[in-house]
Amino acid sequence: MLKSSWQPIRLSILAIAFGGTLLTLAKLTTSPKPDTAKQEANTLSATVPLPGWQLVNTEPITTNTEARTGRRYRFQQGNTTLNAEQYYMVSDGNVSRYLFVHSPVKTANASMKVKFKPEVGHYSLITHDGNAYLSACINPRGSSTVTESQFTQNRYASDLQLSRIAPWLLGQESLIDYRCLWTLMSISLKQGSKSDALVAEEKAYKNLEDAWFSWHQWWQANFPPSR
């Protein structure tokens, strides 16, 4: 009697163990070798729709080891030019550090203002050397981020989902996804009096924000594959 009552439990344990073994084997056989995965190129789209703006030029950017790939875009709206640089990063999501290491902003990163918009996320605004800048990380899931702590919190909140366990076990995705599309947008400010400069800065920030909201929506929907 005791033996027969344990039989269903024993079969369940064996089934779970067998299923786990199959998933582990599948992960081992389908996962790319580390060297191969690093060598696989991740491309950024050469055409990005930006409502109200006309794309006039785009070109790839030669990147360093931290950024897998990059692309520069130039948009026009009347007499206003908007430049956007996009980098495919696998890193810590620290936009302030990115600005210091990889952009003309350098130490002006200390004066960046971090803002938040629901359904989009955090982004930063900076004025430096006659240009207004907007910068943030677009994440594959969740909202945009600026600081390393925001990036980490977003990773755990968005990545640790039951729906992502099977792709992780099969080697299709990393459980914690450290990818980020680092965006740096800029608009040149016209020279003038102090009061004129403040008006020009606010107008440039408004243009950058409007462009950013559309930019973020498009890129998150068209986020490059991990490999």
DSSP string, 53-73: -EEEEEEEE---SSEEEEEEE
Say how far apart CA 205 and CA 192 lie, in whole Å: 17
Domain residues for the domain of 64 are 54-222
The pLDDT mean for the chain works out to: 83
* 119 occurs within a structural domain: yes
Confidence tier at 156 by pLDDT (50, 70, 90): confident
* 227 occurs within a structural domain: no
Q: What's the pLDDT at 193?
A: 64
Structurally, the chain folds into a number of domains equal to 1
* 41 occurs within a structural domain: no
* 91 occurs within a structural domain: yes
Confidence tier at 64 by pLDDT (50, 70, 90): confident
* Res 13 pLDDT > 60: no
Q: State both tokens at 185.
A: 């947008």
Question: In the predicted model, what is the mean pLDDT of residues 124-139?
Answer: 98
Q: What's the pLDDT at 164?
A: 60
Which pTM was predicted? 0.79
CB-based contacts of 156, cutoff 8 Å, min separation 6: 176
